[in-house]
Structure 1
Amino acid sequence: MRTRLLPLAALGVTAALALSACAGGSTDDGGGATDAEGQTLDVWIMQGTNPDSEAFFAEVGDAFTEETGAELNVEFVQWADAHDRFVTSIAGGTTPDVAETGTTWTAEFADAGALAPIGEYVEGDDLGGDLVEGLVESGTYDDELYGMPWYAGVRSLVYRSDLFAELGLEAPKTWDDIVAAGEAVKAAHPEMIAFAVPGDAEFGVYPWVWGAGGEVSVEEDGEWVSGLDSAESQEGIGFYTGLATEYGFSSAGATTWKETDVLDNFVQGNVAMALMGSWTPATIIEKNADLEGKFAATPIPGKDGGISPSVLGGSHLSMFETAENKDLAWAFIKLMTTGEFAEAWAEQTGYFPGQTSLLEQTLESDDPLVTPFATQMVDGGASVPVTPKFGAVQAKKTTNTAIQAILSGQKTVEQATADAAAEMNQIMNGD
């Protein structure tokens, strides 16, 4: 199975879902979802690069209590710590009732037996025809739906438009344009990072792999084969890391940066260009109102033009098997992923909604901080391997370790990618 580009058709209405019996009971309005006074639903929501959402969930909690009688207990978990925390809680049987699960984790947690299938609930509320298919695909494991599409996001190139105007630059359309812009920024503003190259942010790596014609991992005759050590992938990774090691556009400190560090430094005015998510513009303005109108976005340029594919990421809301009242858990999931709260979340955060009907409204936007990300998602959205094993690759930080080794000068591009490919193959094909 090759890494799939996800054009508009693949982002649209889901034709069919393999729906299964849900272990948690029925969707009857007379059941435990609407008469749950005295009960509490425990929920984990991720945070990090998205805008502060405590006020939003306070409103959700009020609506949830009004609808069900139950209290909502939301705990915010940092993305960087979340995977290890999930693994620990699954092993100890201490998982929440519902949690936000990243799209590359849902299959992993379902494979571990931690998640409850939700297909019957989706079918019972007639929601299957209005779900973004790319999110349904990543939320499905062994023909069962375990992740309810909540939102999608994609990374594009974010740049300081005020500096570009000052220097007479246009938004980069090729890799050579990126270098030319970086050189101009470096000469005029040597105090700035012309292009941030974070060493601990794997989803910022894959666009350069795909943009050069490489692959992350493909399934051939039942076995996963990493493409990180191909000539194409090495060219793309070499270009990306070379922005730091060859051109000096980044900094030594960025070798250990996560995406949150890129965001923080952009907010502080230290970064001129970086790959950042569709959800970050709202956060940038929230944290530094002086930057409003001074930055813009553009799809990640292809090597010689066009668009380099970017990971179509996002999140599901998943129900855990430990949830005592699964009807109540579904009531929360439905409240969050459909209707007014789903629409409000998309508007406030810059994420793309998980319902096709709401997504179509977003794609019609002429907002200069929405349109480029929408173009990236529609014309250059891609998927990492949909398999529980890829979550283990992420947990091992296989790709990040390779990038850090290159940035720090410990390994050549060829050595680092060969080691990463071997480790990825071992993990993806292990028992």
Structure 2
Amino acid sequence: MHKRILPVIALGAVATLGLAACTGGSGSADGATDGEGQELTVWIMKGTNPDASAFYDAVSDAFEEKTGATVTIEEVQWADAHDRFVTSIAGGTTPDIAETGTTWTAEFADAGALLPIDEYVDAESGLRDDLVEGLAVAGTYGEELYGMPWYAGVRALMYRTDVFEELGLEVPTTWDEIVTAGEAIKAAKPEMMAFPVPGDAEFQVYPWVWGAGGEIATLEGDTWTSELDSAESRAGLQFYTDLATKHGFSSAGATTWRETDLSDAFSQGNVAMMLNGSWTPNALIEANPELEGKIGAATIPAQDGGVAPSVLGGSHLSVFNTTKNADLAWEFVKLMTTGEFAEQWAAETGYFPGVASAMEEALASTDPLIAPFAQQMVEGGASVPVTPNFGAVQAKKTTNAMLQSILSGQKDVETATKEAAVEMTDLLNK
């Protein structure tokens, strides 16, 4: 059979990194890449699309029809993927193409394992401007694009429409309006948390930093500097933590919550407003049919209005420099990430495509659980600092520890942000 879906088998022993790009593509008379007799290996993470077999068959057939080449798509468990990538990079056994999470692309590019794809993107009319900005930023390292945006999800404001309708509340468009709505909910429904602040949910924090005009970290030359202790960032973090410590919209227990705990509390009817991902509404309704028609979504307000940026979660498709035919690899990447297959993958997974043109239907949708997330992604999709070292920041839980120290009353915002900025700066520059 010319295509198959396989689990990735155990990889070879670690060897010294010594990779060289082999870009021996050849063109046909009509300008298309001639891949007759060639085969590509592609790694895709397992679980994002639970029933991907039909999709893989369709994209493989289309690729073979266009290029004459075959493709083997291998599924990798997310939990095992990073270690397997590291081992394969060291051993020179990487696939031609792989799905790389947005926080991994810079790491693998820094290791010298990926090919830059700028020349391919720029050769496609209009494609560069069509890339969703936050995903393109996350896929760029050293001013070169190594990850082609494929799909993404984004966090926005979710709320209980029945509660808002009962109390005659408008959806907040500024931070002051969040407090106004929260106070009304707290007074009328003291059994509900108006706006919980989960202490172990890093990506819930950054919209408030950005919404006040702050930054996580900035790069000057080769040096990163955390900006969590800037006046703007502190204002955002003060507002966010005040939702719990000053206004009483949260609970002490939420100090250790992850996003999954927040979703559970929402589904149990204990939460009126929260930030959560575009991938959650349908899952919440499927698990709790009584919530049908009771969930609304809106963009996250910036301090005085407009859209506060929110971290895009998602993936790129990257070409590894062990490929024997980079031109052919790009043809497959383009097929997967643009046009009908980008739209089909998004429809089947509940995520959004990585190119704006494939989001036209979502942006035009009147579905209250689709359109606001699409708007958030296009107008306010953002990336964490694009550096291989940001993984060390996440492993150390610098942001979460800062947040929890404020929520627990152990430190004030000024002290907590000063210490977190020092730690983050150190980790980013190691």
Residue in 2 that maps onto 1:75: 76
Q: Secondary structure at the match of 1:243?
A: helix
Q: 1:155-174: CA deviations, max 9, x gaps?
A: 21111111111222221122
Task: Find the aligned partners of 1:374 and 1:54 in 2 and give their Cα distance.
Answer: 22
Q: Structure 1's 334 and 306: CA in aligned 2 closer, same or farther, altered over 3 A?
A: closer
Q: Structure 1's 182 and 302: CA in aligned 2 closer, same or farther, altered over 3 A?
A: same
Letter in 2 for 1:299: T
Q: Structure 1's 210 and 178: CA in aligned 2 closer, same or farther, altered over 3 A?
A: same
Q: Structure 1's 116 and 41: CA in aligned 2 closer, same or farther, altered over 3 A?
A: same
Q: Secondary structure at the match of 1:158?
A: strand
What percentage of aligned pairs have identical amino acids?
62
Residue in 2 that maps onto 1:155: 155
Task: Find the aligned partners of 1:397 and 1:248 in 2 and give their Cα distance.
Answer: 25
Task: Find the aligned partners of 2:340 and 2:46 in 1 and give their Cα distance.
Answer: 20
Residue in 1 that maps onto 2:137: 137
Higher mean alpha-carbon deviation, 320-329 vs 411-420, is at 320-329
Q: Structure 1's 251 and 82: CA in aligned 2 closer, same or farther, altered over 3 A?
A: farther
Q: Secondary structure at the match of 2:304?
A: coil
Letter in 2 for 1:223: T
Q: Aligned runs of 1:177-256 on 2, under 5 Å?
A: 177-220=177-220, 222-256=222-256
Instruction: Kindly state the Cα deviation for residue 332 of structure 1 after the two structures are TM-superposed.
Output: 4.8
Residue in 2 that maps onto 1:5: none
Q: 1:41-67: CA deviations, max 9, x gaps?
A: 4524265xxxx6211x11122224533
Q: Structure 1's 220 and 401: CA in aligned 2 closer, same or farther, altered over 3 A?
A: same
Q: Structure 1's 264 and 422: CA in aligned 2 closer, same or farther, altered over 3 A?
A: same
Q: Secondary structure at the match of 2:241?
A: helix
Q: Structure 1's 302 and 131: CA in aligned 2 closer, same or farther, altered over 3 A?
A: closer
Q: Aligned runs of 1:420-431 on 2, under 5 Å?
A: 420-430=420-430
Q: Structure 1's 31 and 309: CA in aligned 2 closer, same or farther, altered over 3 A?
A: closer
Task: Find the aligned partners of 1:327 and 1:281 in 2 and give their Cα distance.
Answer: 39
Higher mean alpha-carbon deviation, 151-160 vs 58-67, is at 58-67
Among 28, 50, 58, the alignment partner of 1:54 is 50
Task: Find the aligned partners of 1:418 and 1:88 in 2 and give their Cα distance.
Answer: 37
Q: Structure 1's 122 and 189: CA in aligned 2 closer, same or farther, altered over 3 A?
A: same
Letter in 1 for 2:43: V
Higher mean alpha-carbon deviation, 277-286 vs 207-216, is at 277-286
Instruction: Kindly state the Cα deviation for residue 24 of structure 1 after the two structures are TM-superposed.
Output: 4.7
Q: 1:323-375: CA deviations, max 9, x gaps?
A: 67767755653342123221122234443322232234432333322332333
Letter in 2 for 1:45: M
Q: Structure 1's 63 and 379: CA in aligned 2 closer, same or farther, altered over 3 A?
A: closer
Q: Secondary structure at the match of 1:101?
A: strand
Q: 1:22-47: CA deviations, max 9, x gaps?
A: 635426589895646xx784524265
Task: Find the aligned partners of 1:113 and 1:277 in 2 and give their Cα distance.
Answer: 32
Q: Structure 1's 235 and 85: CA in aligned 2 closer, same or farther, altered over 3 A?
A: farther
Q: Structure 1's 73 and 382: CA in aligned 2 closer, same or farther, altered over 3 A?
A: closer
Task: Find the aligned partners of 1:88 and 1:249 in 2 and give their Cα distance.
Answer: 46
Residue in 2 that maps onto 1:419: 419
Does the Cα contact within 8 Å between 2:201 and 2:400 map onto a contact in 1?
A: yes
Q: Structure 1's 202 and 88: CA in aligned 2 closer, same or farther, altered over 3 A?
A: farther
Does the Cα contact within 8 Å between 2:149 and 2:337 map onto a contact in 1?
A: yes
Q: 1:354-411: CA deviations, max 9, x gaps?
A: 2232234432333322332333334434443333333433343221221122223333
Task: Find the aligned partners of 1:253 and 1:84 in 2 and give their Cα distance.
Answer: 34
Does the Cα contact within 8 Å between 2:136 and 2:149 map onto a contact in 1?
A: yes
Q: Secondary structure at the match of 2:78?
A: strand
Task: Find the aligned partners of 1:378 and 1:339 in 2 and give their Cα distance.
Answer: 18
Does the Cα contact within 8 Å between 2:194 and 2:250 map onto a contact in 1?
A: yes
TM-score by length of 1: 0.79
Does the Cα contact within 8 Å between 1:22 and 1:117 map onto a contact in 2?
A: no
Q: Secondary structure at the match of 2:43?
A: strand
Q: Secondary structure at the match of 1:228?
A: coil
Instruction: Kindly state the Cα deviation for residue 420 of structure 1 after the two structures are TM-superposed.
Output: 0.9
Residue in 2 that maps onto 1:110: 109
Does the Cα contact within 8 Å between 1:154 and 1:373 map onto a contact in 2?
A: yes
Structure (1 or 2) with the larger CA radius of gyration: 2
Q: Aligned runs of 1:289-300 on 2, under 5 Å?
A: 289-300=289-300
Instruction: Kindly state the Cα deviation for residue 221 of structure 1 after the two structures are TM-superposed.
Output: 5.6
Residue in 1 that maps onto 2:11: none
Structure 1: state its 5+ residue gaps: 1-20
Q: Structure 1's 192 and 87: CA in aligned 2 closer, same or farther, altered over 3 A?
A: farther
Structure number with greater CO (CA < 8 Å, separation at least 6) is 1
Residue in 2 that maps onto 1:11: none
Residue in 1 that maps onto 2:15: none
Task: Find the aligned partners of 1:95 and 1:300 in 2 and give their Cα distance.
Answer: 39
Q: Structure 1's 274 and 142: CA in aligned 2 closer, same or farther, altered over 3 A?
A: same
Q: Secondary structure at the match of 1:403?
A: helix
Does the Cα contact within 8 Å between 1:175 and 1:301 map onto a contact in 2?
A: yes
Q: Secondary structure at the match of 2:389?
A: helix
Q: Structure 1's 43 and 189: CA in aligned 2 closer, same or farther, altered over 3 A?
A: farther
Q: Secondary structure at the match of 2:177?
A: helix
Q: Structure 1's 114 and 191: CA in aligned 2 closer, same or farther, altered over 3 A?
A: farther
Task: Find the aligned partners of 1:46 and 1:242 in 2 and give their Cα distance.
Answer: 39
Does the Cα contact within 8 Å between 1:350 and 1:370 map onto a contact in 2?
A: no
Task: Find the aligned partners of 1:353 and 1:304 in 2 and give their Cα distance.
Answer: 30
Task: Find the aligned partners of 1:386 and 1:62 in 2 and give their Cα distance.
Answer: 34
Q: Aligned runs of 1:256-275 on 2, under 5 Å?
A: 256-275=256-275
